[in-house]
Chain A
Amino acid sequence: MNFSLTTDYAIRIILYLNVHGKSTSKEMARDLQISHNYISKVLKSGKFNDLIENKPGRNGGFLLRKTGAEISLLDIMSITENNLFFNSCLENSKQCDSCKTFEESLCPLKKQYQKIDNYLREKLAMTRISELSK
């Protein structure tokens, strides 16, 4: 049930950019102990376009589009995690297919998952990159 490795790396990269400003993928690979290939692949995939800008050219590099105070862990995980819902039954598109004992709207398990899911999202949304950089 772990968060993905991509989540770990993305948080590291964004924390780094928040502290160091514009940086190249080589610099980040060196300082963050992440392979250079991986960093360029992830950053050039376009997934992080809302958060990270890629400035091409000789003095180019990557930099954040927002301040650290404007980026939450939830923003990052919404990009990196395929499923941020704690249980599949919380996804709108999915019917509760494995827990048929209860009326869906009354299911005490679902209520429990909802509570945990809300707790997680709230905490992750409250936690800003600026705070973690201190």
Chain B
Amino acid sequence: MQMKRATNYALRIMIELSLSPKVAVPTLSKMLELQESYVIKILIKLKKAGLVKAIAGVNGGYSLNKERSQITLYMIIEAIENSIKINRCLEHDQFCSRSATDYCAVRKLYMELQHGIENEFKQVTLERLLLEKSSS
């Protein structure tokens, strides 16, 4: 169970976008040492989640679609990971091959852990992240 590499890149992209009013794809691609097509793939996911917007034109690029204080780590992670649930039985369909969803003690613990993890990520906005960066 580990976060995807693409999520790490997405977080990095979002941090870059929160430091400038607009960043071009080639700049991001160079900075992250990634192919432009891959950067675009990540940006499209972020755009679908309403976190970034594309600016057309010769001097185009991407910028944040919300205030830095309105974007949490949770939103960014959720935009890239297919699921941030730690176990299959916490997914929407609550699938359990033992059909024990209602009473399973392990699932109860997983729910608590899931809640703890999500809360941590929901509390941290890009704004707060950058404040911590400048104060450290």
Residues of A in contact with B (beta carbons under 8 Å apart): 1-5, 8, 11-12, 15, 32-34, 73, 81, 83-89, 98-102, 106, 108-109, 111-113, 115-116, 119-120, 123-124, 127, 131-132, 134
Contact = CB atoms under 8 A, between A and B. Distances in A.
A106 B130 CA distance: 11
A20 B2 CA distance: 34
B88 A1 contact: no
Contacts, number: 102
B9 A98 contact: yes
A98 B12 contact: yes
B112 to A, nearest CB: 7
B12 A99 contact: yes
B2 A1 contact: yes
A-B complex: 9 closest residue pairs judged by Cβ atoms: A98-B8, A108-B132, A83-B2, A132-B105, A106-B136, A87-B3, A3-B87, A108-B129, A2-B88
Interface SS, B side: helix
Contacts of B67: none
Interface of B: 1-5, 8-9, 11-12, 15-16, 31-32, 73, 81, 83-88, 91, 97-98, 105-106, 109, 112-113, 116-117, 120-121, 124, 129, 132-133, 136
Given A101-B16, A111-B132, A119-B120, A5 B106 contact: no
